[in-house]
Amino acid sequence: MIQLTRIDGTSFYLNPDLIEVVEATHDTHVTLTNGHRYVCAEKPDVIVERIAEYRRMSMGAVRRIA
């Protein structure tokens, strides 16, 4: 899960495997594969970096087990 921030300042966690589209308008809109949309304060490049870090951590855990 990656942590994101709503426009009102509250935090929430999102499963990055469900992200379909990240759009930069005035705010950042994240659309999931199920059609749900979230508006967050982070810029798209920050979200991409958090997803990459999540994947690096996940792959590291898999490699240690194997």
Residue ranges covered by each domain of the chain: 2-65
- CA-to-CA distance for 43 and 56, rounded, in angstroms? 20
Asked if residues 5 and 50 have their Cβ atoms less than 8 Å apart, the reply is no
Per-position pLDDT tens, the chain of length 66: 999 999 999 999 999 999 999 999 999 999 999 999 999 999 999 999 999 999 999 887 656 555
| Residue 47 pLDDT | 98
- pTM metric for this prediction: 0.85
Q: Residue 60's pLDDT is what?
A: 76
What CATH number has the domain spanning 2-65?
2.40.50
